[in-house]
Every structure is written in structure tokens, then in C-alpha cells.
Amino acid sequence: MDFTFYTLDVFTDHRFSGNPLAVVQDTDALSTEQMQAIAAEFNLPETIFVSKAEKPGHTARVRIFTPAREIPFAGHPTIGVAVLLAELTAPNINGEQDALIVLEQEIGTVRVGVQLAADKPAYAEFKAPKLPKDAGPLPHVDRLAAALRLIPSEIGFENHRPTCFAAGNAFAMVPVANLDAIAKAEVQPAPWADAFEEQGLVGVYLYTRQCEHNTSAFHTRMFAPGMGVPEDAATGSAAVCLAGVIEKFDMPRDGTHRRRVEQGYEMGRPSHIDLTLVVTGGKLEAVRIGGSAVRLAKGTLSTD
């Protein structure tokens, strides 16, 4: 059987940066094993498979795979596939193609607003299907530092301390003192296994307030070797968890708070995620993730 696929760069407004994504169309006939094999073949951080929606009024059912396993939700596939489906299906009205794309994911239904215009890169935003929740303690900072090739004093800043948050996917959230420290972080296999592999985590998300650009609020990196992703250029689901970190340590006032998150710079693939927090009554009420995406390639995949 032959399948049409597209590749996109996500959380960027120009090609060859951001986080690469493969989208495979009309995959109702594919088995889970075939999807996993295809994702491993693409060897991108994630591949998303599109099939017919199960409910009337929804756009599509999608499944998301890393090279190593299926995951229930991820940010950059959600943004990328929504932009692609809008480009392929939304009517053009006076040069604009705004659309609401409704995706059935393993985590639940995710609604994505897409803005398309001839003179601007495509932009999409969705409300996180789950709010971030504290997911338990992490090992002592000495073990975390050894796993990341850092020294203990380079972990933590202000009142921020390592935590674990989950919003469909669980991440170790590790604050790092500055840009120099976060740039030298590396996965150290044996200490990594000791610190993280029994935690049930998707990955480890490092963040610091020092940024490359003054429009950014956080500079981040994400490592997920157990998922087949040595490092990720932009991690929307971890940015959802970052909202939990902001609520816990920064205690924002009631209102809507927008934060730009930069990632991928150490990989040569700069990425920018727009993170929006809505706080009501001192508690996080909603989290939104937004970003641009650009189409790169189209091809045919054969499973025969």
C-alpha cells in the first residue's frame, strides 16, 4: 500500500529550524506495529498518523509515535498536523484560511485554532487537554547533576528547585542556573539510568531564565533517550508542564500570562513556543500552546 506523507518544521517560521515532524495521511489500514516501524524509519522526534475521525464534526483521529514508542499526546505534532490539515482543507476567503481543527488523540479531543494568511507563516494554538500536576519527587540534586554532567550548584535558581510534573506526559523539570551551564549539559548513561529511568518519565526538561533573546522568558532543553530522542528541538508537552512550574514557584497573579519559550539552540534548530497561562482564584485554570509551522516536503511511502 502507498501512503502520502508530509514533513514540516514546527515551532518556527522558516524551514530547516524548529522541530521536524512527519505526517502520514489516510492510515486507517495500518497496524500499530506498522506505525511504529514507519516512525522508526523516519527517525524524527515524532511521526503522526492521520485516519478518519470516529465522531461526526471532528477533523481526524491521530496517533503519535517517537522512534521507540507511542505517546498519548505531544505538542509539536499537534501544531504541525493542524497546520497541514488546515492548509489542505480550509477554504480560502479573501486570502485568509482560519480554521478549527478537532483532533481525536489518545489523551482525548484537542481543538486547535489555525491562522493562515498569504503573507505570514501559518500559526496554530491549542488548549492543553490536561493541566499539569505534581508527579512526585525527584532524586537528590547530586544524582541529577551527575546524570546531566553538571555540578550540583548549577542546578536551581531563585526559589526554583527540581520537580516532576505530568500533563499526559511526565517530565523531570530541572532548573539550571544560567546559559553556560545549560549549554554544557549532556546525558551521562549510567548516572542517567540511576536518576531517571525508574521514574516513568518521558524525558528531562532543563530550563533557565537566561535567554538568547530578550523576547523569551525561558531557555530550555529536553532529553529523552529512552524514547529514541537524544534531544528534542521543541517540546510542547513539556512546556505545558512548565506552566505548572511557573504556578508553583513564580505564583503569578490572576489573569492571562504569556511566556515565550526558546529551545533547540544547542542543536542548531532554534524553536519558539508561545506558552499562555490563565490563572483564576490563584490557581492555574488553562494552558495554551502556540507556534508557527512550515511545510517542507511531500512524498509517497510504500509498505509493500
Confidence (pLDDT) at 93: 66
Q: Which amino acids are annotated catalytic? A: 46
Kindly list the structural domains of the chain, giving each domain's residue range(s) and its CATH number in brackets, ordered by start.
Answer: 2-127+292-302 (3.10.310.10), 133-290 (3.10.310.10)
| Percent of the chain whose predicted confidence (pLDDT) is above 70 | 99
The top-scoring range by mean pLDDT among 41-50, 83-92, 118-127, 194-203 is 41-50
| Percent of the chain whose predicted confidence (pLDDT) is above 90 | 93
Q: How confident is the model at residue 91 (pLDDT cuts 50, 70, 90)?
A: confident
| Contact by Cβ (8 Å): 239, 261 | yes
Instruction: Compute the mean pLDDT over every residue in the chain, rounded to the nearest whole number.
Output: 96
Q: What is the pLDDT of residues 19-73, one digit of tens each?
A: 999 999 999 999 999 999 999 999 999 999 999 999 999 999 999 999 999 999 9
Confidence (pLDDT) at 198: 81
Q: Which residue has the higher pLDDT, 120 or 51?
A: 51
What Å distances lie between residue 40 and 34, 67, 131, 154, 240, CA to CA? 10, 4, 30, 35, 26
